[in-house]
A and B are shown apart, each in its own frame.
Chain A
Amino acid sequence: MTINRAFIGRSYPPSAPYAVSREKIREFAEAIGDPNPVYRDAAIARALGHPDVVAPPTFVIVVTMKVAWQAVFDPDLGVDYTRAVHGQQQFSHTRPIRAGDHLVGTLTIADITSAGRNEVLRTRVDVATTAGEPVCSAVSTLVVRGGDR
């Protein structure tokens, strides 16, 4: 099944705001086994120059994955999710995400290519605050394995 090339360059409407809480950052840090107090203690984060506890560098996937699902589950795009694997991931941070942020993600279909029998979908989610301050850009590559059909 080929992915619809007409979607290359298309952007989706901005997501609903995601409110980053101290407790969610703590939960994520615990899930990756990281005891760093800068993810838990605002005073320690402030001593490092941050306004509040900051999130680990990959935390933003909590926000961007669901934004990217708009495309992955868009029937007109034609991604067979049951055959999809995560190929690459890139984060470019303008500044660290921190508790108190209200984040909005805007999804763009960056590219769709073929690699042998596989289809490769590259998406970019630009994450900004509701005030319009850029925070992070997340580029994901999804490889949809070619079937036996």
Chain B
Amino acid sequence: MTATVSYDDVAVGTEMPARTFPVQRLDLIRYCGASGDFNVIHWNQRKAQAVGLPDVIAHGMFVMALVGRFVTDWAGDPGAVVDYGVRFSTMLVVPDDDVGANLEVSGVVTEKLEGRRVRVELAARGPETKVLTQARAVVQLA
């Protein structure tokens, strides 16, 4: 494994450059197919609203995957992500308006661990609120 970020170059407080990921209905449909999770609340507005949701919502796992990409792009090697966990605090509503919802992701190094690993704390916000809490990863750095 070859992370491109060196353990020696980061400190507690080092920020990972923030990024925005646009999420549209088509992204959810594609994720349904690739993941095998075809729960109707991720593609059928009528049925989502019938169970009390405001609209179609993104899979929590899709949001987790986007934030995972934020970490793997930063680290330089997907294999560098050792542990990764999140709590799904609020759902990301994705309206059918050709715009969708933007997911804003940021992160910071919170701990330097043994074996040239670091713990990072991640933040993911939808248009209105945080969608993840306790989002953390352990990354093996070079």
The CA-CA distance from A62 to B61 in the complex, in Å, is 10
Interface residues on B, range: 35 or more
Q: With A31-B34, A65-B37 in contact, is A90–B84 under 8 Å at CB?
A: yes
Q: How many residues of A contact B (CB 8 A)?
A: 36
Q: Does A36 contact B (CB under 8 A)?
A: yes
Tell me how many residue pairs across A and B have CB atoms closer than 8 Å.
107
**Interface residue from B1, B68, B87, B134 paired with A57 (Cβ < 8 Å):** B68
| Chain A residues with CB under 8 A of B35 | 28, 31, 61-62, 65
| Chain B residues with CB under 8 A of A133 | none
| Chain A residues with CB under 8 A of B83 | 90-93
**Complex interface bits, A26-63 against B, C-beta within 8 A gives 1, otherwise 0:** 01101111101011000000011110001111100110
**Interface residue from A38, A48, A66, A89 paired with B85 (Cβ < 8 Å):** A89
A89/B86 in contact, CB under 8 A: yes
Surface stretch bound by A, among B74-82, B92-100, B113-121 = B74-82
**Interface residue from B1, B36, B66 paired with A50 (Cβ < 8 Å):** B1
Q: Tell me the dominant secondary structure on chain A's binding face.
A: mixed
Q: Does B11 contact A (CB under 8 A)?
A: no
For window 63-121 of A, CB contacts with B under 8 Å fall at 65-66, 82, 85-93, 95-96
**Interface residue from B21, B72, B86, B88 paired with A56 (Cβ < 8 Å):** B72
| Chain B residues with CB under 8 A of A91 | 83-85
| Chain A residues with CB under 8 A of B60 | 86, 89
**Interface residue from B1, B21, B64 paired with A58 (Cβ < 8 Å):** B64
The CA-CA distance from A66 to B123 in the complex, in Å, is 28
The residue on B at minimum CB distance from A59 is B65
Interface residues of A (CB under 8 A from B): 27-28, 30-34, 36, 38-39, 47-50, 54-58, 61-62, 65-66, 82, 85-93, 95-96, 139
A-B contact pairs, 26 of them (CB 8 A): A27-B34, A31-B30, A33-B66, A36-B72, A38-B77, A38-B78, A49-B1, A49-B79, A55-B78, A57-B78, A57-B137, A58-B61, A58-B68, A58-B84, A85-B88, A86-B60, A86-B61, A87-B88, A88-B86, A88-B87, A88-B88, A90-B84, A91-B85, A92-B82, A93-B84, A95-B79
